[in-house]
Amino acid sequence: MAKRATIRDVAREAGVGVTTASNIVNQHPGSSYKAETRGRVLRAVQTLEYSPNWSARTLRTRQTLAVGVVVSDLLGNYFSDLIYAVEKRLDAHHYQILLCQSHGDPVIHERQIQVLRERNVDGLLVQIVHASANNALYRRLEMTTTPIVYFDSKADLADMTSPLVESNQPQLTRLAVDHLWKMGHREIFFLSGSPHHINARERREGFLQAMSECGVPSPEGYIVEAGYQEEHGQQGFQRLWESRKPFTALIASSIYCGYGVMGRAREMGLKIPEDFSLVTIGGGREAARMGLTDIDQNPQLIGETMSDLLLTLLHDKNSKPQANGTAPTGVSLPLHHRIEPMLHIRQSTQEPKAQSRVGARAAK
């Protein structure tokens, strides 16, 4: 291919100065040119198939119109839904997204962020993973002027200045409890995620509070340590089963956990929802397909919120305090955004039949 035309070529072709060409091409505000000149330049652009060199432009303007997105993994549709929304939103504002996966490794996580910053991205969207292990990283990032929006979880940091978007974690379990309780369930067990995970702890809190408010004296007994994966669901269900505790409803920490429960239940000849009801958390479209009552985290809305926050940060750098110590001068936008989850009632929950308390029957 012939060498790409430069702005100088355009200027020469149109018989104008390079400033003129540049201003006209970029529709520089506050510059006035005769229609005829403008026409000549535009025609030159056409004939030479000129398009500006992005590197040169960003070198000069220090604006890449790119934002980095760091996510642990793209597997599963939670993050792909989220990124779907982010891409759509940012694209509308002519921002490109640079996608990175950290595969759950704190070291890679940090490296990816580092690389993105060296690439001069205008902003970052980073999932918070291993809040404790990466604490130093997040603290360092806070010293930076790079606009950042975090998501999915909280960092251990006391005074964050960057906004954070996540699900209203306690509400996830609370919605599930309320739904089941209203249906008449009284023995509701929660197969919780790993206790190391702060989100899991919050969901646990939500569960305990909701149960308390319903009048359950010591709800702690209704928590089963499980995890987010299918095997955790299996193991958790197994343990619950062997404990002989009676139950009529289960809340699974994730849809995978839910699958584990369903698998074991089937093996044991138990039917859902006839023998017990099941609510999953964050199952998305997959839960819909499976007819599972589910608490929707609304990843799309999360993505949109993140994008909007980042866009305002990008648009008005002042909203983030500069690291040199001066106070924020712009509008201070709220830092912690909790996206409200939604309950989708489907076929995996129904009113309990008194005689079908699973554990009780097993204990007979």
Partner DNA sequence: AGCGATTATAGAAACGTTTCCGTTCCAGCA
Partner DNA sequence: TGCTGGAACGGAAACGTTTCTATAATCGCT
What single string gives the DSSP state of each residue in 193-246?
Answer: --TTSHHHHHHHHHHHHHHHHTT-S-GGGGEEE--SSHHHHHHHHHHHHHHT--
Among 43, 46, 74, 212, binds a copy of itself (CB under 8 A): 74
The residue (of 19 and 53) whose beta carbon lies closer to a copy of itself is: 53
Structure tokens at 305: 């919120």
- Binding test (CB under 7 A) with DNA, winner from 1, 27, 49, 61: 61
Residue matched to tokens 């549709």: 77
In this structure, what are the phi and psi dihedrals at residue 123, rounded to the nearest 5 degrees? Answer: -160, 170
99 binds a copy of itself (CB under 8 A): yes
Q: Rule CB under 8 A: is residue 58 a binding residue for a copy of itself?
A: yes
DSSP label at residue 124: E
8 near DNA, judged by CB under 7 A: yes
Query: How far is residue 277 from each of residues 122, 238, 325, measured CA to CA in Å?
Result: 47, 16, 54
Q: Find the shortest distance in angstroms from Cβ 62 to a copy of itself.
A: 8
Query: Mask: binding to DNA, 16-35, rule CB under 7 A, as x and -?
Result: xxxxx-xx-xx-x--xxxx-
47 binds DNA (CB under 7 A): no
Which CB atom, from 114 or from 212, has the smaller least distance to a copy of itself?
114
Q: Which of 53, 135, 212, 329 binds a copy of itself (CB under 8 A)?
A: 53
Could you give the CA distance from residue 109 to residue 141 in angstroms, rounded to a whole number? Answer: 13
Q: Among 43, 56, 145, 340, which residue sits at the site for DNA (rule: CB under 7 A)?
A: 56
Closer by beta carbon to a copy of itself, 90 or else 250:
90
Instruction: Compute φ and ψ for 294, nearest 5 degrees.
Output: -145, 150
240: exposed, middle or buried (Cβ count in 10 Å: 0-12, 13-18, 19+): buried
Verify binding: residue 51, a copy of itself, rule CB under 8 A.
Answer: yes
The least distance separating DNA from the CB of residue 196, rounded to whole angstroms, comes to 40
